[in-house]
Amino acid sequence: MQYIGLEPERYQTSWISGAEGIKFQETMAKLVSDVKKLGPNRKLRDAQ
Amino acid sequence: MKEITNKIQAAATKLFEEGKIDVFLAWEQQGEYEFQTNSYVARSIEDVKNIVFNEYSIYNVANTLLKLRDGQERIGIAVKGCDSRGIVRLLEDLQIKRERLYIVGIPCPGMKDPLTAARNHGGFNKKKIEDGLAKKCLDCIQPNPVIYDELVGPEQSPRQQGDRFQKIKELEQMSADERYKFWEDTLSTCIRCYACRQVCVACDCRTCIFDEMKPQWVGRETSTTDNMMYHLVKHAHMAGRCIECGECERVCPVGIPLMLLNQKLIKDVGELFGGPEAGMQYVEGAKPALSVYRENDPDNFL
């Protein structure tokens, strides 16, 4: 995906157990802040 | 070339006479002109005379094996270097048994593109296009068969020159937006004819994700987004399996440089996993990089 020009920050993978609430919260906060820095996605959107 | 044709025909005749094979796969000339070639299935000794090997026998004949994979026939097959890598791939994927095959290897002197020849031959456009070796043959790294029972013709040396991944490295240097622009321009021309899938030796799934209607994983519209999704998914499946035969790029009617996607994956798989490239050697029971599951995988991307 990176190779065809999408920003790698938009796609993140993480392994979080149902018991790891704090890790989930931290991961989501990081994802949101990463994506906010990039701004709205304009790529791969012409189908809608 | 005529010599090699004769040798293939002799080998096929001998095999049929000895009763070692039921069918023989090679190439034929379909029409009036020598560039009108296709793959050919000789089913009896009378068919052998139709076998032709000329400078346009570019079709990857290993792909034809997929049509015979469910049968019991013993198969004789004539292969070039790239085709033999395709056979190794099919053997690794357990699509066909080695016992069923008798492989006649041809060290390949390089093929010309039949389409270029056809364009030069007729039509309104009388401007001649340079009629050299096909692009896929200029980038060839393995002209000699890697697996064979019998070899005809003298060994050839690889034709690939310079840095194989030069283009890929240039693309990697671009910014994300430039790359997106490049691929948007290229892939938006795709007409979704699926020729690249049909001709691919590594595409050996019986049920294809792109044919499924329920659920429909990838949209069938020829919009840039759906085209990009198609190519992302198709070529991501080729990671560690693409044998670089270049057929997808050759058959593309709109000329999308598909090998740029495949070579990127070849480069990445080589860097991440090492080992021989897909189809370069056949070890019984060996698996390509992404077909193995181990519990102690490091998983460091998570």
B219 interaction partners in chain A (CB closer than 8 Å): 47
Sign of CA dihedral B291, B297, B300, B302: positive
- Residue B126 pLDDT > 70, yes or no? no
Q: Which residue has the higher pLDDT, B161 or B196?
A: B196
b (16+ CB within 10 A) / e for B216-238: eebeeeebbbbbbbbbbebbebb
Q: Model confidence at B300, in pLDDT bands (50, 70, 90)?
A: low
Distances (CA, A) of B167 to B87, B247, B254, B257, B263: 28, 19, 20, 11, 9
Q: Model confidence at B171, in pLDDT bands (50, 70, 90)?
A: confident
Q: Model confidence at B136, in pLDDT bands (50, 70, 90)?
A: confident
> Which of B187, B232, B299 is facing A1, going by the closest CB pair?
B232
Task: Summarize pLDDT for B38-88 with one digit per residue, the tens.
Answer: 888 988 888 888 888 888 888 888 888 888 888 888 899 999 888 888 888
pLDDT, average across residues B110-122: 82
Distance CA B211, CA B242 (A): 21
Q: Which DSSP string do the residues of B167-183 spell out, in sequence order?
A: HHHHHHHS-HHHHHHHH
Displacement of CA A28 from its chain's centroid (Å): 8
> Which of B183, B229, B302 is facing A15, going by the closest CB pair?
B302
Q: What is the pLDDT of residue B301?
A: 61
- Residue B302 pLDDT > 60, yes or no? no
A5 and B182 within 8 Å at the Cβ level: the answer is: yes
- Residue A47 pLDDT > 60, yes or no? no
Provide the mean pLDDT of chain A. 83
| Selected residues 168-187 of chain B with any CB under 8 Å from a CB in chain A | 171-172, 176-184, 187
Task: Summarize pLDDT for B205-222 with one digit per residue, the tens.
Answer: 888 888 888 888 888 888
Q: What is the pLDDT of residue A22?
A: 92
SS3 state at B26: strand
- Residue A7 pLDDT > 70, yes or no? yes
Helices (H), chain A: 21-38
Which of A1, A2, A3, A14 is most worth mutating to test chain B (most B CB atoms within 10 A of its CB)? A3
- State the Cα torsion B28-B34-B35-B39 to the nearest 10°: 0
> Which of B171, B178, B180 is facing A6, going by the closest CB pair?
B180
Radius of gyration, alpha carbons of chain B: 20
Distances (CA, A) of B1 to A16, B34, B61: 61, 12, 17
**pTM summary value:** 0.82
Task: Summarize pLDDT for B5-25 with one digit per residue, the tens.
Answer: 888 898 899 889 988 889 999
- Residue B299 pLDDT > 70, yes or no? no
B299 and A15 within 8 Å at the Cβ level: the answer is: yes
| Selected residues 3-32 of chain A with any CB under 8 Å from a CB in chain B | 3-7, 13-15
